[in-house]
Amino acid sequence: MNEDYGSLSTTGSGSALNALNRLGELTQSSALGAGQALDQSKNVVPLEIEKHLERSTPEDERESQIIIDILRDDYNQYESEADKRKREAILGKLDGIIKEWVKFAGRKDGKDQETIDNSGGKIFTFGSYRLGVHSPDTDIDALCVAPRHIERTRHFFGELSEILKNHPSVSKLTEVREAFVPVIKMKFEEVDIDLLFARVEYKEVGQDLVNLLDDNILRNCDKESIRSLNGCRVTDIILKLVPNKENFRTTLRVIKLWAKNRGIYSNVMGYLGGVAWAILVANICIICPYLSPNKLLNYFFKAYSEWEWSSEKPILLTELQNDRTKVDFAVEQDLFYEKRSTDLMPIITPAFPSMNATYNVSQSTKRVMLIEFEKGLRITNCLLKRDERGSKFYPDLTWKRLFKKANFFKTFVHFIQIEILSKTDEFHKKWTGFIESKIRKLLQQLEKLNDIKGNFMEFRPWPRSYHLTNPTFEFNDTYFFGIRIKKNDSGMQMRVDLTETIKIFYKKLKEWIKLDEKLMTLIINKQVDIQVNYKRREQLPEEVRPKDAALYNLNDVSLGKRQNRQTAEDAENEMRDDYQEEIV
Active-site residue flag, 139: yes
Whether 434 and 545 share a structural domain: yes
Whether 453 and 427 share a structural domain: yes
pLDDT at 551: 64
DSSP conformation letters of 184-242: EEEEETTEEEEEEEEE-S-S-B-TT-----SGGGGTT--HHHHHHHHHHHHHHHHHHH-
pLDDT at 277: 98
Mean pLDDT taken over the chain: 87
Q: Give the DSSP H or E segment for 31.
A: strand 27-31
Whether 35 and 178 share a structural domain: no
pLDDT at 256: 98
The residues near 24 (Cβ < 8 Å, ≥ 6 apart) are none
Whether 129 and 116 share a structural domain: yes
Catalytic one among 4, 56, 161, 194? 194
413 domain residue, yes or no: yes
Whether 86 and 221 share a structural domain: yes
Active-site residue flag, 128: yes
Whether 444 and 323 share a structural domain: no
Residues marked as binding for ATP? 126-128, 139-141, 194, 256, 265, 274-275
Beta bridge partners of 142: 125, 195
Beta bridge partners of 255: none
pLDDT digits (tens, 9 = 90+) for 216-273: 999 999 999 999 999 999 999 999 999 999 999 999 999 999 999 999 999 999 999 9
CA distance 307 to 78: 32
579 domain residue, yes or no: no
Distances in Å between the alpha carbon of 345 and those of 254, 276, 311, 316, 399? Answer: 21, 10, 7, 12, 27
Average pLDDT (560-565) is: 37
125 domain residue, yes or no: yes
Average pLDDT (344-368) is: 95
Active-site residue flag, 334: no
Instruction: Tell me: pLDDT of 365 over 50.
Output: yes
Catalytic one among 83, 95, 109, 139? 139
38 domain residue, yes or no: yes
Domain interval for residue 336:
13-74+242-403
Domain boundary residue, one of 350, 379, 403: 403
Instruction: Tell me: pLDDT of 27 over 50.
Output: no
Length of the chain: 584
pLDDT digits (tens, 9 = 90+) for 402-419: 999 999 999 999 999 999
* Residues 405, 529 contacting (CB under 8 angstroms): no
Whether 347 and 422 share a structural domain: no
- Check which CATH number belongs to the domain holding 177 and give it: 3.30.460.10
Active-site residue flag, 30: no
- Check which CATH number belongs to the domain holding 548 and give it: 3.30.70.590
Whether 87 and 220 share a structural domain: yes
pLDDT at 177: 86
Domain boundary residue, one of 211, 235, 259: 235
Residues marked as binding for Mg(2+)? 139, 141, 194
Whether 302 and 284 share a structural domain: yes
Domain count, the chain: 3
Average pLDDT (130-144) is: 96
Active-site residue flag, 256: yes
**Where does the pLDDT of residue 398 fall: very low under 50, low under 70, confident under 90, or very high at 90 and above?**
very high
Average pLDDT (164-183) is: 92
Domain boundary residue, one of 380, 403, 426: 403
CA distance 278 to 271: 14
Q: Give the DSSP H or E segment for 402.
A: none
Least confident among 39-48, 167-176, 390-399, 456-465: 39-48
Least confident among 38-47, 228-237, 295-304, 404-413: 38-47
4 domain residue, yes or no: no
418 domain residue, yes or no: yes
pLDDT digits (tens, 9 = 90+) for 536-554: 999 999 999 998 776 665 4
Whether 155 and 225 share a structural domain: yes
Whether 310 and 372 share a structural domain: yes
Average pLDDT (273-294) is: 97
Q: How far is CA 236 from the centre of its chain?
A: 18
Catalytic one among 4, 60, 141, 477? 141
Instruction: Tell me: pLDDT of 566 over 80.
Output: no
184 domain residue, yes or no: yes
Residues marked as binding? 126-128, 139-141, 194, 256, 265, 274-275
Q: What is the dihedral of CA 556, 557, 563, 568, to 10 degrees?
A: 40
Active-site residue flag, 577: no
582 domain residue, yes or no: no
Instruction: Tell me: pLDDT of 274 over 90.
Output: yes
pLDDT at 7: 54
Average pLDDT (498-519) is: 93
Percent with pLDDT over 70 in the chain: 85
Instruction: Tell me: pLDDT of 47 over 70.
Output: no
pLDDT at 548: 77
Whether 330 and 198 share a structural domain: no
**Where does the pLDDT of residue 323 fall: very low under 50, low under 70, confident under 90, or very high at 90 and above?**
confident
Instruction: Tell me: pLDDT of 14 over 50.
Output: no
- Check which CATH number belongs to the domain holding 28 and give it: 1.10.1410.10
